[in-house]
Amino acid sequence: MTNHSEILRRYAIEPKKSLGQNFLTQDALLEKIANHVDLAGKHVIEVGPGYGALTEQLISASPASLTLVEYDPRMVAILQDRRKRGELAFAGEFDIEALDVLQFSPSRPSVLVANIPYYITSPILFRFLYEVSQVPDEMIILMQKEVADKITKQKGYQNSYLSLALEYGCDTMEKLFEVKAENFVPPPKVDSAVVHFRARSEAPDPEAAKAFLSLISRAFSQPRKKAVSNLANAGIATKEALEAIFSEMGIRTDARAETISLDDWKRLIQRLGR
């Protein structure tokens, strides 16, 4: 078992609020995250490793190679020191990339694992689904519980721009388990959850994805209004033309964007010739 308190003391680690740093320190939970997917023989990317708490569990899962992407130079120095001490011993290829994750691009098929600051959850998900040429095969992301519920449409949530955008690029999105705030140092103000994303085996065409994201962005511009009204106000087509298309496709003309399924949005894209 890792002595997290000793490591925090040794390096005088004070989590930076400006970077949204909250360190998960419960080994049972860290092990559960690392072992959800069989990582043996795979290339693993860990985003935001901090001082390496989850890294230790990932190493134990026997990946072929491991890349850590860490923005905070203090944590990069700590990770390097812990490697020298033998605390992060790994026989395979092991790289530490000291850069902003939004500037990082995978170079090969991979599994991405991340305990990321809440404020950057959406940009990271969009980055690795739509902006990189080599999309990770799977992603295991620890995020704010409410966002996880919205993405996986639990607790009564319907579709949202974020859930549809992610569903478009993923075969499956599964909320695995929740993590109480008291398991972190320092405890965040809200609970977290771990979500497993499996990317589509055939990545969406970039231009088609761009058109889809643009359309639903406009449809959700005012979520409480009818989708037809939002799309008409965005200049997609006249309200009358949109109502005719919706009726023809069997979609209610007074439907809000949140009630329209992914398949219907795809059909709408084709019908609108976008």
Rounded to an integer, what distance in angstroms lies between the CA atom of residue 132 and that of residue 164? 19
Q: What is the pTM of this model?
A: 0.92
Reading the block at residue 239, the tokens are 């309200």
Answer whether 45's CB lies under 8 Å from 136's CB.
yes
Tens-of-pLDDT digits for all 274 residues of the chain? 678 999 999 999 988 888 888 999 999 999 999 999 999 999 999 999 999 999 999 999 999 999 999 999 999 999 999 999 999 999 999 999 999 999 999 999 999 999 877 888 999 999 999 999 999 999 999 999 999 999 999 988 999 999 999 999 999 999 999 999 999 999 999 999 999 999 998 888 889 999 999 999 999 999 999 999 999 999 999 999 999 999 999 999 999 999 999 999 999 999 987 6
Give the Å distances, CA to CA, from 64 to 21, 58, 67, 69, 98.
28, 11, 11, 17, 21
pLDDT at 194: 97
In the chain, what are the domains?
A: 4-199 (3.40.50.150), 206-272 (1.10.8.100)
